[in-house]
Copies of this chain bind each other. A is one copy, B any other.
């Protein structure tokens, strides 16, 4: 008798669980000391609610019917439920709001190799603080939390989820040609991107900008090489991060796209050389809470606690 568990799920035994709890408590304590109060939301939400937050993302989750025939879904992240809470239960609380969470999120199928279907997320949401000011706080706090967890080689990739769309607008690329280009960039297929851009018959300058900007990746010098106003917001963010002493871990990555539909500006991904997948990610989502009836800007970051644990364990082996 083998009694399997569903693919993409895990049993966690005591030795590992002890380490995961210590890690979680450490992250919570760092977030708490920075003024981020923890919230919990139901594992099951009405699918309609998740769809309000992200029309595209809701389909990726486990769905079921309740006894009244309503469609429920297992949350696929905590940001949408927290947006709901900020607009409803916390509707009277003056911004800025600083919230954190630790909870499992679910995907009905693996999007990529090695991705679990049930995974523990720990994250922060900073609501009501606009622009680079908010983003710098979120990135610096994430770096700090990972420092305290014992990581020493982590990096935060920072891009702008709207940049490529803006470049496509500037280049007057027709709507029907855009899906493939975005697909290439999502898959980090810069060769494919170049080949497809070349078919559009653009001027050399426009063509170069579409192909070269998304390939820029590195320190603050990347923002200089990008030129123009397109990345002014990232330049301001870099300045604020430098003031906080939090710029050294940042890699500007102008080709970075995040798959969630609610990002409206800078997006983040967290990396560690010990783990082949992002430890987490986030970004600015200035319109999401408004979809629940309370127009408030916000940004946040979610860490995959299991992956942070892998990086932590690798770091300890190096000592």
Q: What is A's interface to B at a CB cutoff of 8 Å? A: 1-6, 9-15, 17-18, 20-21, 25, 28, 37-46, 49, 52, 62-64, 66-67, 70, 72, 74, 81, 84-85, 87-90, 99, 104, 106, 108-109, 117-118, 292-293
Query: Measured between alpha carbons, how far is A10 from B87 in the docked complex, in Å?
Result: 15
**Is B89 within 8 A of A13, CB to CB?**
yes
Query: Measured between alpha carbons, how far is A58 from B269 in the docked complex, in Å?
Result: 40
User: Please, which residues of chain B bring their CB within 8 A of the CB of A10?
Assistant: 40, 42
Tell me which of B14, B37, B72 contacts A99 (CB under 8 A): B14
**Is A4 within 8 A of B46, CB to CB?**
yes
**Is B45 within 8 A of A5, CB to CB?**
yes
User: Please, which residues of chain B bring their CB within 8 A of the CB of A62?
Assistant: 44, 64, 66, 72
Chain B residue with the shortest CB-CB distance to A84: B3
**Is A108 within 8 A of B66, CB to CB?**
yes
Chain B residue with the shortest CB-CB distance to A9: B42
Query: Measured between alpha carbons, how far is A177 from B20 in the docked complex, in Å?
Result: 52
**Is A293 within 8 A of B1, CB to CB?**
yes
Tell me which of B21, B25, B37, B44 contacts A118 (CB under 8 A): B44
In the A-B complex, the 3 residue pairs with the closest CB atoms: A14-B37, A9-B42, A64-B64
**Is B292 within 8 A of A46, CB to CB?**
no
| In the complex with contacts A11-B39, A18-B37, A66-B108, A87-B292 CB distance below 8 A | no
CB distance from A10 to the nearest CB of B (A): 7
**Is B43 within 8 A of A3, CB to CB?**
no
**Is A118 within 8 A of B42, CB to CB?**
yes
**Is A3 within 8 A of B66, CB to CB?**
no
**Is A43 within 8 A of B12, CB to CB?**
no
Chain B residue with the shortest CB-CB distance to A2: B88
Tell me which of B40, B74, B104, B118 contacts A11 (CB under 8 A): B40
User: Please, which residues of chain B bring their CB within 8 A of the CB of A18?
Assistant: 37-38
CB distance from A304 to the nearest CB of B (A): 15
**Is B292 within 8 A of A1, CB to CB?**
yes
Query: In the complex, which of the residues A2, A4, A20 has the most CB atoms of chain B within 10 Å of its own CB atom?
Result: A4
CB distance from A262 to the nearest CB of B (A): 15
CB distance from A79 to the nearest CB of B (A): 14
Query: In the complex, which of the residues A1, A49, A72 has the most CB atoms of chain B within 10 Å of its own CB atom?
Result: A1
Chain B residue with the shortest CB-CB distance to A72: B6
Chain B residue with the shortest CB-CB distance to A65: B64
- Sample (21) of A-B pairs whose CB atoms are under 8 Å apart: A2-B88, A3-B49, A3-B84, A3-B292, A4-B46, A5-B41, A5-B45, A5-B46, A6-B72, A9-B44, A10-B42, A11-B85, A12-B39, A13-B39, A17-B37, A25-B25, A42-B118, A43-B43, A44-B62, A62-B64, A67-B109
**Is B38 within 8 A of A21, CB to CB?**
yes
Chain B residue with the shortest CB-CB distance to A291: B1
User: Please, which residues of chain B bring their CB within 8 A of the CB of A64?
Assistant: 62-64
User: Please, which residues of chain B bring their CB within 8 A of the CB of A66?
Assistant: 6, 62, 108
